[in-house]
Amino acid sequence: MNYPSKDEFIDYCVTTRNPLSDKMILRSHAVTIHNQVIKRYPNPKDFIESADDKFRGKVFPFYIFMCLKCRPTIPIYYLNHPIYYGDKIVKYFNLINADLLNSILKLIKSENEKKKFLVYVVRFCISSEYKTLNDISIENVRQLKNSVVKNYNNFSKITQSSRITYLNFIERALTPVNMPKKFTQRAAPDEKQFGTPSSEIIGLVKKYLQEKYIAKGYDIATPRMQIKYFLSHVTKRNPDIRNLNEIFQNDYWCHYRELIEKSSAPVRSKSSKINSVMQFFEWLFRNGCVTENELPEDYGYRWKRNKIGLNDEKPKMFQTRDHYFAIFAALLNFKPKTEEEVLCKHFFLVITAIGARKSEILWLTPNSITNIKDGIGEVTFAIKEKLGLINKPMSCMPWGLHSIKFLEDRLEKGPKIKFFHKRTGKEFYSLFEHNGYLLSEDVLYRFFDRLMVLADIKDESGNRIKYKGIRFHAFRHQKFNDIYTVTNGSLSAVQHDSNHVSIRMVKRYTQQDISMRRLTAIKAIEEGKIVGKGVDLLNALLESPFTPEQYMNVVKKLNFSTRITKELVMEAAKDLGFGFCTNPNCAIAPMCEACDYYFTCKEQLEELKERYTNNFLLIKKTITLVGFDTFFKNEEYRHLIIGLKHQERWLKELDVTDEEITDLKHYYFKE
């Protein structure tokens, strides 16, 4: 390695400095620096590896020139001195081609940040094995990001955070695969991630998250954060705590729970914070990490929410269907003026038509419409569910089909940009790309707030209802409420479209319509349409916290009540889709038909038949898997047989013959 000539260094200084600067002064200064370096360090290698940082600072322009000209690999801490005119240095040595540079600079908003990025490119090319960015690949960039994250503690927060940010910009520009909104973040130390310095407690939390969430493909962000809040509270009160016993021996949990209950946070947030920690406590007990005596006195607390004022939790839905119609009318009449507003309008048209979750709509891909009949379509999503990646079909109303076709045409005409979907681990073309990004939540929230102003929905006091805590998810509830209404209260129909596994969750999506039925019943009493014992019965059902035993005695008196009373009783009871449950405190049993508080009617017969067929098939498959002897000897499977017998009893009470029941058993085995 030899020193560059004076003429080369002079040309570099003149080219990479302000063009308005005096050229004679620049040349003179360049010659002086060149002579100083050669006089002090005759060997170029000694100059490059010198530990004299003070002298390096005085001649830093020549040091940068030498490094980029001769290409030695320099430790990053040798480059702590300021670098000026990064844009001119990048251009002089062609460290990055013009097209790639322009693509990156388009992603950076601030002019000051653009200058910092160009300086970063200079430092990167000197200190890394990559001498320019022209040949670097997307895989190389991702490896570098992982390396920076792993070496977090070796750098300051500013240095490390900036590196990740700049590498993200390079990654976005190098490939059509873009990371939406959230890029790779710096890896915080365990103490910051979990809220405690105790390695023992951190290890247990990690094991819990791995077993309950990561192994099943679930996101750990929410449970980890809720547990962190509690452990941070404990650490703040006593920084010396290092094990679980010390936590449980004191009143930390009670104090923390009291703070949560008295906070002004929404009910759902309170419930989530309490439940996440209690689920962790339960896991500790089941895995032998703590004994039952060591647990808080209110162990199992999350199942007793009614006692702490959390029973006022309401589903994320509009109060009435009229409110939804007002918002929908405002959406249809909205005149977008920008491309962003056009996308937002179509986003809400699609979400009202499909009833999918916000995250599912954003990842809606071209060619997702799989079927159209009588103006109604079916849309298929690739969704990561509990059982893995599945194709999830959902019905789509006509206005949603028009919007999807418009968005598909827009995608065909514009630049096709792929996005990386972290949850599925796959790359997608999204119909809601705008300027290289997915539509952000902030943009969609602002648009929704404008819709609410245009809809001008007011309560009885004349105050505008904003639905701040609902927004997108209310449209999902509304679609399934409407299905529940037009199918005359069929939860099975709702479940078929929503793809919910639990009937309990399906019922949460139909509470708007059930609430309206109850209001209708109360209004009927007030208007005097129902009198005598019918009034007593409805009041008991709709207003009183009655016990199951009291209720069953009341039901026996239905013989001398009017027919309208019977119908309203059924509407007031919990509609299961295949019958009615009259026990307000009942957890969902494996077979409701075996329960004393279950009754049904002929209107539910088709759902009952389908349920019987599915349960018989379940028994058949279970016998195939575990074997005939194991199935009938094991008490674990006994409830399946008992439940099936009770289902047969109910079918016979509804005049279903033995031959028809036999046909139901063989329904799935017919050719």
Report the alpha-carbon distance of residue 198 to residue 641 in Å, rounded.
50
Q: Give pLDDT, residue 312.
A: 41
Q: Give pLDDT, residue 532.
A: 42
Residues facing residue 378 across a β-bridge:
371, 395
Q: Give pLDDT, residue 502.
A: 63
The structural domains of the chain, with segments of one domain joined by +, span 6-178, 190-312, 321-480, 491-585, 609-669
Instruction: Write out the E strands in 157-274.
Output: 177-178
Q: Give pLDDT, residue 200.
A: 87
Mean pLDDT of 44-70: 80
Q: pLDDT (tens digit, 9 = 90+) per residue, 511-522? A: 655 555 555 544
Which residue in this structure is represented by tokens 């104090």?
255
Q: Give pLDDT, residue 646.
A: 81
Q: Give pLDDT, residue 378.
A: 78
The least confident of 220-229, 293-302, 318-327, 619-628 is 293-302
DSSP string, 460-479: TTSPBP--TTTTHHHHHHHH
CATH of domain 321-480: 1.10.443
Q: Give pLDDT, residue 345.
A: 92
Residues facing residue 379 across a β-bridge:
369, 394
Is the distance from CB of 316 to CB of 474 less than 8 angstroms?
yes
Report the alpha-carbon distance of residue 71 to residue 65 in Å, rounded.
10
DSSP annotation of 589 reads P
| Crossing angle of the two packed helices 563-572 and 533-542, in degrees rounded to 10 | 10
Q: Which of 59-73, 227-241, 508-522, 570-584 has the highest mean pLDDT?
A: 227-241
Higher pLDDT, 471 or 262: 262
| Crossing angle of the two packed helices 638-653 and 658-665, in degrees rounded to 10 | 140
Q: pLDDT (tens digit, 9 = 90+) per residue, 330-375? A: 888 889 999 999 999 999 888 888 887 877 787 787 887 777 766 6
Q: Give pLDDT, residue 577.
A: 66
pTM: predicted TM-score of the whole model, two decimal places: 0.49
How many C-beta atoms lie closer than 10 Å to residue 85's C-beta?
18
Q: pLDDT (tens digit, 9 = 90+) per residue, 168-194? A: 778 777 765 544 444 444 445 677 788
Report the alpha-carbon distance of residue 513 to residue 524 in Å, rounded.
17
Q: Give pLDDT, residue 500.
A: 65
With cut-offs at 50, 70 and 90, classify the pLDDT of residue 314.
low
DSSP annotation of 458 reads B
Q: Give pLDDT, residue 637.
A: 74
Report the alpha-carbon distance of residue 652 to residue 445 in Å, rounded.
53
DSSP string, 167-189: HHHHHHHHSSEE--S--PPP---
> Residue 379, SS3?
strand
The least confident of 286-300, 416-430, 556-570 is 556-570
Residues 6+ apart with CB under 8 A from 365: 382, 428, 429, 430, 431
Q: pLDDT (tens digit, 9 = 90+) per residue, 445-455? A: 888 888 888 88
Residues 6+ apart with CB under 8 A from 54: none
Q: What's the full length of the chain, in residues?
A: 671
- Helix residue ranges, H only, 575-637: 605-626, 628-633
> Is residue 42's pLDDT more than 50?
yes
The least confident of 21-35, 82-96, 613-627 is 613-627
Q: Give pLDDT, residue 390.
A: 62
Q: Give pLDDT, residue 148.
A: 61
Q: pLDDT (tens digit, 9 = 90+) per residue, 100-159? A: 888 888 888 788 888 888 888 888 888 777 778 887 887 788 777 776 654 443 333 334
> Is residue 15's pLDDT more than 70?
yes
With cut-offs at 50, 70 and 90, classify the pLDDT of residue 575.
low
Mean pLDDT of 586-593: 60
> Residue 296, SS3?
coil
With cut-offs at 50, 70 and 90, classify the pLDDT of residue 310.
very low
